[in-house]
Structure 1
Amino acid sequence: MDASARLSAWLKDHPQTISKVVDIDTDTDRLLKLELTSANKELSIDILDNTDRFCAWVNQKLADNNCRYGIGGYMELRTIYDNRTQFDTTGEERRNLHLGVDIWGDAGTPVYAPLAGTIHSFQDNDNFGDYGPTIILTHNLDGLTLYSLYGHLSRTNLVGLTVGQRIESGQQIANLGEVHENGNWPPHLHFQLMLDMEGKAGDYFGACKKSEKDKYLQNIPDPDILLRFSNGIILTTLSS
């Protein structure tokens, strides 16, 4: 059994160990699927090139659809990265296949650890379009190692952290950061799972080349295996 299958089996056998990542009321909350591909004709270059306009677009869509959170992104091919230089590979194929799930919401929204673990690493990836403040946790699941990454946080969330620090399931670990500190994005959480950190610390690719999809599928499980948004929470599509 490969690592992804072992992970699925372990989580299925230990549902009581899984906690929330953000506050969700399953009776009242709906999640708005925000598509950030070329198929979304509303997202013009004028919007994507202006963070204030991009924020206004996200906020308006959430308000129009009466949703507290937007959601989406796992293995989504995103044209949104075309104006973000860190996704450029100097004339080669761009890194625009998104590897995590984004949860769009208000700055300050609490973020929680869905599994018990320890702090693997943390770092302020302070570049335009980057993660901004980032925390990575290590989870030992009866011998299977899983890593979870939380990007676009508040800088205050990094104060007082230490590598190896114990984190409990359901413990608040962060908040969604403001635009000026989160890599110049509308406030959201980039949540990603990795089976192997490949020697990295404080950072891991949040997007890869489309041609590398099969490779990264082996290391990057679908975060919904922990989020469980598709199980019991109504997903609503973007209104026109």
Structure 2
Amino acid sequence: MQKNDFSTFLYQISNRPLTVLDASIPRSKYVAIDLSATNENLNSVDVSSSLKFETYINNHIKTHDGLVAYGGYLEVRNIYKRSKHFNNQAHDERNIHLGIDLWNDAGTFIYAPLDGVVHSFNNNQNYGDYGPTIILKHEVEGIEFFTLYGHLSVASLDDLHDNKPFKQGEPIATLGDASVNGDYPPHLHFQIIKDLQGLRGDYPGVCSKTNLEFYKSNCPNPNVILKL
């Protein structure tokens, strides 16, 4: 299945928006946020400090009368410069974001957007990494794909096992805080993955320009199902 075919398939799964947060949150309360390298407002923010970064995000949400800030698919970000996890190869910097981030409070419940089972999970503890992570496997109309949930609470990994089923709309996790989620303001990294390439409990959420075309195809924009 080609990239555009897979994205079209995902879009057509549901006529209504699917959600990974509380379905009662009005769509009007989701506000877009720009965390790209071209956003000059970030030049005055110490994004290496999760507390100062969180203040910036919360002020943005408040200013726009929202409840959730979202965005970031294929965004080129400078925040990853703080971590060697993304920059161990200076000539091929990983700074292009492959999922959608949903910025909300620690402890916020995360829900399965579709029926699925646990494929794998792990606490990815590198500085700047996902922290606790869950990957669900879905099969719709005979087509298998995966969704990844990063920056969760440690408790989210309790009582999980491979192939544990989750029904659409069932809570699967809660958001972690900066002490466990890779040192970020609380948020969900949500990513759709066509082929996990044999990985378990982890998959790149940030890529380099060199590998962008592959990852764009393998990780389509999650907004095709969230429809924000």
Pick the TM interval, shorter chain: over 0.9
Amino acid at match of 1:182: N
Q: Which residue does the alignment assign to 1:190?
A: 189
| Whole-angstrom distance in 1 between the partners of 2:17 and 2:144 | 15
Amino acid at match of 1:100: G
Determine if contact 1:149/1:193 at 8 Å carries over to the other structure.
yes
Amino acid at match of 1:162: H
Alignment of 1:141 with 2:140, yes or no, is yes
Determine if contact 2:14/2:225 at 8 Å carries over to the other structure.
no
What is the CA RMSD across the aligned residues, in angstroms?
A: 2.0
Q: Which residue does the alignment assign to 1:237?
A: none
Q: TM-score, normalised by structure 2?
A: 0.93
Q: Which residue does the alignment assign to 2:30?
A: 31
Between Structure 1 and Structure 2, how many residues are aligned?
228
Q: Which residue does the alignment assign to 1:103?
A: 102
Most deviating of 93-102 and 29-38: 29-38
3-state secondary structure, aligned to 2:85: helix
Q: 1:142 to 1:18 in 2, by over 3 A?
A: farther
| Whole-angstrom distance in 2 between the partners of 1:46 and 1:19 | 33
Q: TM-score, normalised by structure 1?
A: 0.88
| Whole-angstrom distance in 2 between the partners of 1:216 and 1:10 | 16
Q: Which residue does the alignment assign to 1:213?
A: 212
Alignment of 1:44 with 2:40, yes or no, is no
Q: Which residue does the alignment assign to 1:5?
A: 5
Gaps of 5+ in 1: 230-240
Q: Which residue does the alignment assign to 1:155?
A: 154
The alpha carbon displacement at 1:6 in A equals 4.4
| Whole-angstrom distance in 1 between the partners of 2:64 and 2:10 | 36
The alpha carbon displacement at 1:44 in A equals 3.0
Misfit runs of 4+, over 6 Å: none
3-state secondary structure, aligned to 2:121: strand
Gaps of 5+ in 2: none
Superposition pairs of residues 194-205 of structure 1, within 5 angstroms = 194-205=193-204
| Whole-angstrom distance in 2 between the partners of 1:65 and 1:51 | 21
Determine if contact 2:122/2:202 at 8 Å carries over to the other structure.
yes
For residues 149-177 of structure 1, the C-alpha deviation after alignment (integer angstroms, 9 at most, x for no partner) is 00000100100000011111111101111
Determine if contact 1:77/1:210 at 8 Å carries over to the other structure.
no
| Whole-angstrom distance in 2 between the partners of 1:209 and 1:10 | 25
Identity %: 36
